[in-house]
Every structure is written in structure tokens, then in C-alpha cells.
Structure 1
Amino acid sequence: MSGRTSLIARGVALAGGAALVWRRWTQGPMPPAAVGGAPHIPPGRPQGAVPTLKMPTARGWSEGQLPVAAAGLKVNAFAAGLKHPRWIHVLPNGDVTVAEAMQPLRTPKNVFDHAMVATLQRAAAIGTSPNRITLLRDADGDGVAETRETFLQGLRQPFGMALVDGTFYVGNTDGLVAFPYTPGTTRIDAPGRPLTKFKPGGHWTRSLLASPDGKSLFVGVGSLTNIGDLGRDVEEGRACIVELDLASGRERIFAGGLRNPVGMAWHPETGELWTVVNERDGLGDETPPDYLTSVREGGFYGWPYCYWGRTVDDRVQPQDTALVAKAITPDYALGGHTASLGLCWMPRGTLPGFDEDGMVIGQHGSWNRSVLSGYRVVFVPFANGRPTGAAPRDILSGFLAPDESESYGRPVGVAIGPDGKSLLVADDVGDVIWRVAPG
């Protein structure tokens, strides 16, 4: 970072700090977390050109230091020394593939963006992307991967992965690519076959989920901007979940109005698609909440015109009253700006103390809040195909220093381990894959 950029960033940070103190003083005490099926969401208060900007400095884990597992559980490093691991996919033979990628360093667009880029650098969230997928193998079943191989390299910010009928699919930021896969192989050298194109930039992750019958792939494609700031045209084909028919190559928008849908999972009993969505910034600590929701075919979930059902965001002009009238209220609020990214279904009894079916969510953590939120892995219990309404329960925490000035790690992708009795968690600041198991 240049000296000029550093000075600009410090200036904006000081202005942001003063604005943050002013907001705390004028807005009163911190509102309760907006969680559950009927959350209390404070009225939105636009923060203007200098929104709240607070992120911890990336520190990493000291030798022997671990996250905090819930009672009855233990945690160990399944694999350490990775480079910004974001997403996890478990193959049928028990091998684990890990996408290592990050947002590349960019030229700031304005004064506030100088501060944002500097903050992202300090938080280890932006830099030189590894652009590879690593394969991990725990052949002796002791909970630590003893084999590590570069499975694929030379990719474009890879994220989502799926294996269907001998083909390994990768969600690059600019498109979906297919590779031939041989069971048990530790490396793919064959060139990829492009299937679709996506617009890079903005929310760059492209999560993947195969349909239960293996005929389709679902792709999470986030928006370019916060609230459609650059107009509707640049958001075409974004802020949605795309379905790709593998036989015909046809693609369509399965559901829209989803600002940044990342993790996806199937409910094994109802067959419904579920996702976690990062909502918009700049309206307050708990406004609006990120959310977990079932996804209806053809459904519209509000972005950018409204949030949590039909609460209109007056910053968006012109409005679209017809789309607002169609907006679906999400199923379950996860609190404001938690950056809920990872998602997987966890059957009851997978981990001791978690005796209900439910969803596991990796919360990467906030930047647009006066008090940090997220930075943990949580469990949302389900019954009769829906969240019970109970508050999320911690599975893994302790990613932040006590004063919240530093982060030891930040959880992202989550997956049930190859043994079916453990949970794997990608930690992109800690450069590690954690394994949570019965204690």
C-alpha cells in the first residue's frame, strides 16, 4: 500500500470512527440481535458516504492455539499451512478438496474505497489469489490429513465444487468449468471444459450444488454492488441462483432478488433447496439481517428494492412496486452483517449435544457494524422441514481476540467429514481446515 493510499485510508478511518461514535451516541443502546423467524429489525438509518467500517486485524493462530468447541466436542487441525482456504467438498472416497482463493487487490475507486481496500488488506481479505484446489487425504482415519496434493491450479478464483458422473465441476468467478475425474486420483492435468460464463467482480464467489438426481447444477451468483448502485444492466444475471441443465447446457435463473447467496444445501426430507444470503450494508448494525431461507423456483427475495419481505429501501431509486409486491419473506434471520457463507445439513446425532436435525452455518464476520458479529460456526435446529425458531447455537467460536481488535481466524465453508461423525470448517485467515468431532 502506497504512502498516499495509507494517509487517505487513515483519514477516512478517522472520519469513520468519528461517525461511528456519533451514531452510537444518537442511536442509543445496541439493539438485540435480529435472529429467528420473526426478528425485530430496527428501522433503517442510511449511513451516507462514510458507512461504519470496522474489521479486526488478521493475526492468525499461535502454535497450539485452537478455536473453542462446544461442550462435548473437540477440535483439531485437519490440515494447516494452506493459503486462504474458502470452500470444502468431500469426495465419495473420502478425499477432501479445498478451494484456495481470495479477492484480488484492486485500484480504489474513491476516497472511501481507499479505506476499504486498506482495511481488507489488514484483515487478510484481499491480495494475491492462490487460484488452486488442494486435495487432502486422511487414509488412516486419525482426523489429520497426511496427504496433500495440488489437485487443480491456474484457476480463476475457484470456489464451489461438485462431482457428478465422473466429472468434477469448478465454479470460477467468471464461469463454470468441467474436468474429467478418475476415482482416487490426486491431481487433474486435463484442460477444463467451459460450460457457462459469469460476470466477475463484486461478490466473486460461485458456489455449486448438484441436484439430488445429478441432472442439474445450482450456482450462487452474488451482486456486483450493494444496492444496484450502478444500475440494473450491470446486475443482469446476478443476485440470483442459476440452474444449469447438464444434458442440454441450458441455464436459467432459478430464483432472484438474492443479494449474495453463497452456501446451498438440500433438505433431505422435503427436497427443498436452502441457501444463506448476505444482505445489504449501510442501514445499521442489525438492519437488515443476513438470512437462511428455502428457495422457491421462480421466487423473488427483494434485492435491491426491499428487504425481509417488503420493507422498502428508499435509497434505491427508481423503485419497482411490482417486484416489491412479489418479494418473499425469508425463513430465518441470522443477525445483521454476520456474513453467513458456509452451509451444510447436519443430521441429528452427528455431533454429541446436537440431537436435532439442522443446518450448520459458517459466519465469516461483519465489517459494517459498530460491534462485530459473526466470526463463529453455528447450528440452526429444524423440525418438520423448517427452522424451529430457536436461537442459533455455537459449534465453534473463539475466532476473535477478547477486545475484538484481532482475528485469529474467520470461518467460511463447512462440510460433514468423510466419516459422517465430524464437521470440517475452512478458516481463511487461519489458513487451516478445522475438524470438530466428539470430545
Structure 2
Amino acid sequence: MELIAKATAVVGGAVARLRRIGAPAHQSMGPSPQIPDAKAQGIMTLKMPVARGWKDGHVPACAPGLRVNAFASGLDHPRWIEVLPNGDVLVAESKEQATPPRTLMDHAAQATMRRAKAIGDSANRVSLWRDADGDGVAEIREVFVENQNQPFGMALIGNRFYLGNTDGIVVFDYHPGATSLSGSGQKLVSFKPHGHWTRSLIASPDGTKVYAGVGSLSNIGDRGMEAEQGRAAIWELDVRTGTARIFASGLRNAVGMAWEPMTGKLWTVVNERDGLGDETPPDYLTSVQDGGFYGWPYSYWGSIVDDRVPQDAALVARAITPDYALGGHTASLGLCWMPAGTLPGFGDGMVIGQHGSWNRSKLSGYKLIFVPFENGAPSGPPRDILTGFLSEDERLAYGRPVGVAIGPDRKSLLMADDVGDVVWRVTGA
């Protein structure tokens, strides 16, 4: 496997260098992005930095006026964060599980992902971290729930704790202040596993619904659309009746979700398809309409047709154009609403953890960014909060941003880093 990874790195590096010739000079960003014409790649670009981690006091770089410290460390691939009302911080520790490779590209991708710590044995647990003395560093660590199936999203409604495993949503009884859950939980909804395996969750503001992001199995329906039934969607679970339905569809891989408080709309970040070029199409941030269709796999950025896919003209005609482009292949995963005043110098807006690309000639993402909002919509270019996750030559990843949340003190941000095995805390300097 290591030999395959090294060979892939050599071949992938050569392909990436060739494709940098004539590659777009600017990222496709904002509400009206300039999206380059698609260029079918044939052999897909495969470029993934080797996971290094943080050593000898090395930490991410902060925007001016901010500082960062490790809130929690020594985790096993931390992915997602949920802050409980009493200030306890829950962290889902999980990892993609390898499925039998079907093609040479599958072998190459899996070998590369292992070197990047993106695939392997999963801890399959949620840990609880408590900063009892309020110094910004958690000193109490407990196993909150274990023996799960690639746990990711979490939501607490009253005394009911909802957990998004890759194969469905389970619920546990929770008592305020508890440091662990008992029992195996009750399964409420089943989802198909594999492919885009994360299952993000968010509760509605009134506590009557739970929304879940369920990504596609494949890049563009490669195994047929029957295999994609129930996927590439955001689901809605009615917690009172237990009924579940697809809330919005055509979302290739909707991960983080957040509520915008002025309009009450649900927003999400979506990872778009591969194999059409460095900036084509861009990942995006968008509000989500009940019953809305967002194009996948037939089209992208509204009605731009992907001619690699057998078409459905009626669905393309009703495809909704996203609100805000985030650049090609940034792998924007984490999302939370940040009210004005949380961090000095930042107003209202969305914070986004960009996990970073693996399939473009010049890497993108690998940072924590902020998109300002006014009147319920994005209002300007993104601003960096944390950077420095990549070496200058793009060969090493010190960390990769994933889930984000407002800290218990409401004056800090928490961000999971699944390569550094750290939860970072950002505050004013």
C-alpha cells in the first residue's frame, strides 16, 4: 500500500504540475463567480499532502488581533463539535472506513488517503471535554458515547441527544451534567453508508425538527441513480412523530449547517463534483429551500450542464443557483453562525472550516474563514481567521480544519483539526 501511495504521489505530482500550466489564476468566489469552462480530466488530478501534525510549539497562524491555543489535544481524528448548554464540549472522533477498491484509481486514492490520515481504523466515539477552571484549556476528558458507526453530527433537544452515525440517526436519553450516556440508543432513521459518509445534524430553533446532511455515494452518479436514492440531500426528522423526509436534494455533499437568525433560514456548505478542473465547479455556501433542488448530478451552479451525466432536462430547469461560491475543491465542511462581537473586529457572519483539496493542481482550502453577512445574506469577500495548515511547498499538512462551533464563553471559536488531532480555540489577542 505504501508503494502504491509513493507511486501515486509521483504520477499525481507530474499530472498536477502539467495542469498548473494555464490553470485559473483566481478562485471562483462570491455571489457571482467567474467559473471556467469545464475541462474533462480523463485521469483525475490526485494531489494530497502527507499528514505531519503540529510539533515543537508550532500552531496555526491567526488573523491580526486574534490568538489561538489548543483547547483539547491527543484526540483520534476529531471531526465535529457540539457545545452543550452547561459548557461541556463534545467531539466526534471518527474516520472514513475503506471499502474494497473497484478500480486502479480507487487503489491509488485509498493509498493516498491513508498517508494523509483521512482513512483507516475509526475510533467510533464521542468524547466529552470540560474546562472546569475557565482557562480556555479542557482538563477533564471522558468518553461520552462509544462503539458507534462513524459518528459525526450531534444535536441536543431537551433531554434527548441525537447522534448522526453513517448508517442513520440514533437518540439517547441525556441528563444535564452527565459525562457519559448509557444504553445503545434508539435508531430513528436509516441512511445508506459509504461514499460521502458524514452525517451532520442540526436542530431547528424551536426544537421540533432535526436536519441531517447525507452525501452522495459517488462523484456524479457513477454507479447509477438507483444507488443514490435518499442521498445527496438534507433530510428532516420530525422528533415528535418520528417521520423523516427529504427536505432538499441535488446537494452532492452538504455537510455543515447553520441557522441565519435574521431570516430564520437554514444554510449549508456543499462540496461539489470532481474531474472538471481546478475551479470548476466551486464548492458553495447557500440557503436551503424546502423542496429545493440544487442540480447534482445533472448540472452545477444552477443550470450549467455536466455533459458526463445522462440528463434530466426537467430537473436542470428547476435547479437553484447557490448563494455564494467558496472556490473549487476547498472541501468546505464546518459551518457555524458567528454573531457580531464574538471575536474582535468581526461582525455577523458564517465561519467555515475548509478541510482542503486533494484533486487540483494548486491546493485550495486548508484554512478557517469568515463570510460577513448583512440583512440575511453574504455581504463581502471572505476573511481568513486561521491559516498555516500547509507547508509552503504543499507537501505536508500540519492540520486540516473540520467542524466549528462558538465556544462555551460565547467569546471564542472552537475548531476540530483531524490531522493535528487537536481542537483549537480562537479568541481575541
TM-score for the superposition, normalised by structure 1: 0.96
- The answer to whether structure 1 residue 366 and structure 2 residue 366 are counterparts is no
- 1:126 corresponds to which residue? 119
- The answer to whether structure 1 residue 300 and structure 2 residue 290 are counterparts is no
- 1:40 corresponds to which residue? 34
Give the drift of 1:10.
4.4
Give the drift of 1:396.
0.7
- 1:88 corresponds to which residue? 81
- 1:17 corresponds to which residue? 13
Give the drift of 1:7.
4.3
**Identical-residue share of aligned pairs (%):** 67
Quick one: which amino acid aligns to residue 36 of structure 1? G
Mapping 1:194-205, distance limit 5 Å: 194-205=187-198
Quick one: which amino acid aligns to residue 414 of structure 2? L
- The residue matched to 2:113 in structure 1 has which SS? helix
Give the drift of 1:189.
2.0
- The answer to whether structure 1 residue 323 and structure 2 residue 319 are counterparts is no
- The answer to whether structure 1 residue 30 and structure 2 residue 24 are counterparts is yes
Give the drift of 1:14.
4.0
Mapping 1:35-434, distance limit 5 Å: 35-48=29-42, 50-317=43-310, 319-354=311-346, 356-388=347-379, 390-434=380-424
Preserved contact between residue 371 and residue 383 of structure 2 (Cα < 8 Å): yes
Q: Deviations over 1:212-248 (max 9, x none)?
A: 1101100000000000011110000000000010111
Give the drift of 1:112.
1.2
Evaluate the alpha carbon distance shift between residue 182 and residue 401 of structure 1 in structure 2; reply closer, same or farther with a 3 A threshold: same
Quick one: which amino acid aligns to residue 12 of structure 2? G
Q: Deviations over 1:123-165 (max 9, x none)?
A: 0100100000000001111100011000000000000000012
Give the drift of 1:47.
0.7
Give the drift of 1:31.
2.9
Preserved contact between residue 8 and residue 112 of structure 2 (Cα < 8 Å): no
Q: Deviations over 1:188-211 (max 9, x none)?
A: 122211101000000000000001
Give the drift of 1:85.
0.3
- The residue matched to 2:155 in structure 1 has which SS? strand
| Residues in 2 aligned to 1:428 and 1:20: alpha-carbon distance in whole angstroms | 25
| Residues in 1 aligned to 2:246 and 2:120: alpha-carbon distance in whole angstroms | 31
| Residues in 1 aligned to 2:14 and 2:256: alpha-carbon distance in whole angstroms | 35
Give the drift of 1:9.
4.5
Preserved contact between residue 31 and residue 286 of structure 1 (Cα < 8 Å): no
| Residues in 2 aligned to 1:10 and 1:149: alpha-carbon distance in whole angstroms | 38
Preserved contact between residue 151 and residue 188 of structure 1 (Cα < 8 Å): yes
> Which has the higher mean CA deviation after the structures are superposed, 8-17 or 183-192?
8-17
| Residues in 1 aligned to 2:300 and 2:385: alpha-carbon distance in whole angstroms | 28
Preserved contact between residue 12 and residue 111 of structure 1 (Cα < 8 Å): no
| Residues in 2 aligned to 1:17 and 1:82: alpha-carbon distance in whole angstroms | 31
TM-score for the superposition, normalised by structure 2: 0.98
Give the drift of 1:29.
4.5
Give the drift of 1:399.
0.7
Q: Deviations over 1:304-361 (max 9, x none)?
A: 00000100000012x000000000000000000000000000011110111x210000
| Residues in 1 aligned to 2:386 and 2:20: alpha-carbon distance in whole angstroms | 29
Structure 2 alignment gaps of length 5 or more: none
| Residues in 2 aligned to 1:15 and 1:404: alpha-carbon distance in whole angstroms | 16
| Residues in 2 aligned to 1:131 and 1:325: alpha-carbon distance in whole angstroms | 41
Quick one: which amino acid aligns to residue 269 of structure 2? V
C-alpha RMSD of matched pairs (Å): 1.1
- The answer to whether structure 1 residue 435 and structure 2 residue 429 are counterparts is no
Preserved contact between residue 161 and residue 207 of structure 1 (Cα < 8 Å): yes
Aligned length: 429
Preserved contact between residue 129 and residue 141 of structure 2 (Cα < 8 Å): yes
- The residue matched to 1:79 in structure 2 has which SS? strand
Preserved contact between residue 171 and residue 188 of structure 2 (Cα < 8 Å): yes
Preserved contact between residue 306 and residue 324 of structure 1 (Cα < 8 Å): yes
Preserved contact between residue 20 and residue 362 of structure 2 (Cα < 8 Å): no
- The residue matched to 1:104 in structure 2 has which SS? coil
Quick one: which amino acid aligns to residue 411 of structure 1? P
| Residues in 2 aligned to 1:60 and 1:331: alpha-carbon distance in whole angstroms | 34
Evaluate the alpha carbon distance shift between residue 328 and residue 18 of structure 1 in structure 2; reply closer, same or farther with a 3 A threshold: same
- The residue matched to 1:381 in structure 2 has which SS? strand
Quick one: which amino acid aligns to residue 131 of structure 2? D
- The residue matched to 1:179 in structure 2 has which SS? strand
- The residue matched to 1:103 in structure 2 has which SS? coil
Quick one: which amino acid aligns to residue 229 of structure 1? D
Structure 1 alignment gaps of length 5 or more: none
| Residues in 2 aligned to 1:13 and 1:92: alpha-carbon distance in whole angstroms | 45
Preserved contact between residue 9 and residue 112 of structure 1 (Cα < 8 Å): no
